[in-house]
Structure 1
Amino acid sequence: MNIGAFALSVFLFASALLGGVAPSHAFLILDNMVFIGTKSGAAVFKIKNTGDEPEAYRLEWTQLRMKEKGGKEKVAQGETIPGVMAADSYMYVAPRRIMLMPGQVQHVRFMVRRTENMASGEYRSYIVFQPEEIPPTFNPEEATSNSVPAPGKAVAQISMLTGYRIPVFFLHGDTILDVSVKDAVLGRDKSGAPLLNFTFVREGTRSALGGLTVHCTTGDKEVKISSGEIRIFTELESRRYSYLLKNMPEDCVNITLDYLPQSLDPDYNGMAMRLAEIPAG
């Protein structure tokens, strides 16, 4: 799937009306996107219920637009995003409804259904893990003194449910991607710590999905001083980034920026690309 699989816990909090608070719930996601290359037709995504209560989810598709300054915005139904081809109509997902007991792991399978007349390029949609209400076993006689309603008032319990969305990509046919860094400037933040500002530029027909590492040259050595994720989807040509360099040595001479695409990118060969080098002084 994507670069450097990481564990992301998404906590879903439930609260009871009239002051009572229900136990918190969580599910564990072992990656932050689904990516299917041209030589593959399927991917498996794992989730785990790490809470102490059963959890239920339904999986739904949606479209989101990446904003240049960060974040995403939902796209109205029927609206298209320039430079983006939606993936959902070509995808089969199973299962679409999930019930997870505490500690249970569920595999979600994504499969591409390619057609002869599909355009070459990158396709992307978002899958939403939308929590569903599980009827609670709520006994008014067992309510705490803080949650007992006044005489004649109805007793109710409400759960606040929050969904989590991940991007799903697949490639079809030939795609191209060129990346570069421009306007790299080393400055200082308000506290006086070194701050590296730069613009990451994407050109081509697929998204830039990878990691950037910042090194400092001191004599004949290179020291890693920062790293981060790069994401620029096909609706954008560039994004401005800022990296705080708290670990930059005082004798740093030059700063270099190296980019490594995610492991399923067609250009991935295990070697990072050096995109920029600027003086540290």
Structure 2
Amino acid sequence: MKKIFLLATLVLFLVPSVYANLLVTPTRVELDNKRDKSAVFSLVNKSSETSRYEIYLEDKRLLDSGEFELLESEVPSTSLTPFTRYSPRRVSLSPEQGTRVRLAVRPPKDIKSGEYRSYIVFHQIPLASTTESEASKPSDTMKLSVTAYLRIAIPVIMRVGQLTAELTIESNGLNIQDDKQQLIVEIVREGQRSSYGDVEVFDADTNELLGSLKNASIYTENERRSFAITLNEPLKPNTKLLVKYIENDGLFEAKTVEQTVNF
């Protein structure tokens, strides 16, 4: 019988069960061109097996749909990659073993005011192949191997100058999915910097929190983004909602915007 060897590789992007196999902190880095020019990432292998990771930088843009588009053919003018250094570039971690990755940004002195962003990627790669004796061992059975390779991308943002943003909540709507109500909140952004924060939905009369979304991001390439906020319970007729978007207080001139909506 002819020996057949089949290897199937499945790459998973940020699937929670797989993501938990590698603990990375921080999950977002914000720098400037004055004092905060470096960061240290802590990696811990939470899986039960030894894993190897390749570390590199990449550029991508966030689409209005919430998906990312990898920028491979050209380096955008807002990329950090040309003047960012990091070490090490490959690590192997035993179960529960940790290590650190150091990153430093060295922008040119004449860098223009604005927001710059790239992503540092921790990409799981196969360990060394089996020994030659194992690889050459005859077998008449079909072997199917499915390997989930983890890929985590952490945004690294550097802001040059005191950048501001203006935000408004423009429109809302209700969506019913899987017997749950979701409030669609659209946030409009203008200005020089990106924004991230929390969206909260309250009953305007009782001030009861009905739903929330943490770490909503709107980058400089986005003029607007829509977010689906799952509500804790179905809305009663004639309910008045208060929708708030609260920027992270680490942002320059962080803002809170709100809108009332009747249903």
TM-score range, shorter chain: 0.7 to 0.9
Give me the TM-score of the superposition, normalised by structure 1.
Answer: 0.75
Change in CA separation of 1:103 and 1:113 when aligned onto 2, cut-off 3 Å: same
Distance 1:104 1:241 in 2: 37
Q: Per-residue CA shift, 1:6-62, capped at 9, x if unaligned?
A: xx95628xxxxxxxxxxxx92122443222246522222222101122222121111
RMSD, aligned α-carbons: 3.3
2:225 aligns with one of 226, 235, 239: 239
Q: Partner residue of 2:158?
A: 170
Structure 2: which 5+ residue stretches go unaligned?
1-14
Q: Per-residue CA shift, 1:157-176, capped at 9, x if unaligned?
A: 88553422222111112312
Q: Per-residue CA shift, 1:202-251, capped at 9, x if unaligned?
A: 11111111111111133xx3111111132111111001222232336648
Distance 2:182 2:146 in 1: 46
Task: State the SS of the aligned residue for 2:99.
Answer: strand
Matches within 5 A, 1:1-281: 11=18, 26-37=21-32, 39-78=35-74, 80=76, 85-137=78-130, 140=134, 149-150=139-140, 161-185=149-173, 187-189=174-176, 193-218=180-205, 221-228=206-213, 229-247=215-233, 250=236, 253-268=239-254, 273-279=256-262, 281=263
Distance 2:146 2:236 in 1: 56
Moved more, 88-97 or 172-181: 88-97
Q: Per-residue CA shift, 1:96-141, capped at 9, x if unaligned?
A: 2222121012222222213210011111011221223322556749
Partner amino acid, structure 2, of 1:183: S
CA contact (8 A) 2:212 2:230 kept: no
Task: State the SS of the aligned residue for 2:207.
Answer: strand
Change in CA separation of 1:61 and 1:188 when aligned onto 2, cut-off 3 Å: closer
Q: Partner residue of 1:22?
A: none
Moved more, 105-114 or 227-236: 105-114
**Corresponding residue pairs, total:** 246
CA contact (8 A) 2:64 2:225 kept: yes
Distance 1:197 1:215 in 2: 14
Change in CA separation of 1:109 and 1:204 when aligned onto 2, cut-off 3 Å: same
Distance 2:199 2:144 in 1: 50
Partner amino acid, structure 1, of 2:103: F
Partner amino acid, structure 1, of 2:30: F
Distance 1:158 1:223 in 2: 47
Change in CA separation of 1:196 and 1:116 when aligned onto 2, cut-off 3 Å: same
Structure 1: which 5+ residue stretches go unaligned?
1-7, 13-24
Following superposition, the deviation at residue 257 of structure 1 comes to 1.7
CA contact (8 A) 2:182 2:230 kept: yes
Moved more, 93-102 or 192-201: 192-201
Following superposition, the deviation at residue 261 of structure 1 comes to 2.0
Q: Partner residue of 2:11?
A: none
Q: Partner residue of 1:18?
A: none
Distance 1:61 1:10 in 2: 24
Distance 2:172 2:139 in 1: 61
Task: State the SS of the aligned residue for 1:89.
Answer: helix
Task: State the SS of the aligned residue for 1:135.
Answer: coil
Following superposition, the deviation at residue 275 of structure 1 comes to 1.9
Give me the TM-score of the superposition, normalised by structure 2.
Answer: 0.79
Percentage of identical aligned residues? 22
